[in-house]
Amino acid sequence: MRGIESLNGRDSLDSNREGSRATLILTLTLCNVKKTELSKAAKVFEMFETQIHHFETRRVKTPKNSSDDLDIFVECEVHNPDVSILITALKRVAEDVKSNRQDKVPWFPRKIQDLDKCHHLITKYDPSLNHAHPGYADLEYKRRRAFFADLAFNYRIGDPLPRIEYTAQETATWREVYRNLRSLYPTHACTQYLDAFHQLEKYCGYQEDNIPQLQDVSRFLKERTGFQLRPAAGLLSARDFLASLAFRVFQSTQYIRHFSSPMHSLEPDCCHELLGHVPMLADKEFAQFSQDIGLASLGSSEAEIEKLATLYWFTVEFGLCKQNGSIKAYGAGLLSSYGELMYALSNKPEYKPFDPEVTAVYPYQDQAFQPVYFIAENLEDAKAKLQNYTTKIKKPFSLHYDPFTSSIEVMNTPQKVKKALCQTKEELKNLCLALENLS
């Protein structure tokens, strides 16, 4: 896969969970609360070496005993064998003890800094391991790739993106790819792509004799859709790659394909990222579509990740859409491949309407041209269908992305939901006022 691949057998422990420990959501009531009652409850948690992640108290709305009754909400972690004993012990010091044991959830990043951990690679196309890779026997190329990998692995969120001094040979490879693809874009690419591509040529150094720098491109995207780039060492696992999109971060390689095969690459490279992905990420509708897939992936099971990765493959990588009575390309895998872009818009492949339920389980081809492409009515329609699909993914929690802090909030208390609703209400109020001023 270009830029995304599943990773089976990966450690799937929650970031706050180790070994044979369970996460519990507890609610209980302490009656006629004094310091001694609180102390007794605290000692129960202490006795079982409970790790408390969230502790919340509020006055009981309709107290049974006195106005000093307190409802308590606790999110905690305890050793599996101690779960039932802990609940029994709490019932001795509190009333209405209720528990909800959360299902085991794969780790996922909660804040943008956590993306520093999302760099697990799929090595099946690595030039050092894959005999079919055109750079397999080229020691200089493999040394160059190791240089780029070190840059990516050492990068931390907030660092300046590495500026690369590309060699004459690397620039010549870029020139050939750029020149050939640019000749097809006016007739084969969607209007959103063309609008952004012209802006990138104007502001980000997109030209035949210059490979754009990630720092300049990232700044351009940030101003337009809030997306930003970070360096990637190669083909990432689907879980890590999609998780980054949830934060509007796109993991981009900086190396270029081997000079002996300029028109085809087994793996993602800077031609694929800069010519395929970046222009579409400058479109607000498409940027939201990409983030929606990322958000849906957080905490999802391996089976759901596989489906989301397949959806990504047939849309973000190889998607087609209708525009002005014609079929146009918006997928990065097409827009960075001269041969497949021509093939996809010929009369050779089969076309199917984009339906996430069907697309998510459809077999894909990562070694040759796709025999089938899915066509969206338009990007807005594709986004609406995707959002409807993701609401059906079963998780033991809901998530909310906070764009101000670039963090993910787990909506596991009424207070968190109310806070998010208040923020939304304020935004709606401002929009309503703006509409009134225009009328």
Integer Cα distance of 358 and 353 in angstroms: 9
Give the CA count within 13 Å in the CB-facing half-sphere of 151: 21
Residue 277 annotated as catalytic: yes
Task: Give me Rg for the CA atoms of the chain.
Answer: 26
Residue 317 annotated as catalytic: yes
Residue 165 annotated as catalytic: no
User: 374, 320 in Cβ contact below 8 A?
Assistant: yes
Residue of 218, 252, 300, 336 marked active site: 336
- Nearby residues of 176 by Cβ (< 8 Å), 6 or more positions away: 262, 263
Residue of 133, 258, 272, 300 marked active site: 272
* Strands 326-329, 320-323: pairing kind: antiparallel
The alpha carbon of residue 238 and the mean position of all alpha carbons in its chain are separated, in whole angstroms, by: 9
Most distant CA atoms of the chain, gap in Å = 82
Residue of 170, 244, 277, 290 marked active site: 277
Residue 79 annotated as catalytic: no
- Nearby residues of 125 by Cβ (< 8 Å), 6 or more positions away: 133, 234, 235, 266, 267
Position 418, amino acid: K
Residue of 5, 267, 304, 317 marked active site: 317
Integer Cα distance of 330 and 43 in angstroms: 59
Distances from the Cα of 336 to the Cα of 234, 244, 265, angstroms: 17, 22, 10
Looking at the annotation, which residues are catalytic?
A: 272, 277, 317, 336
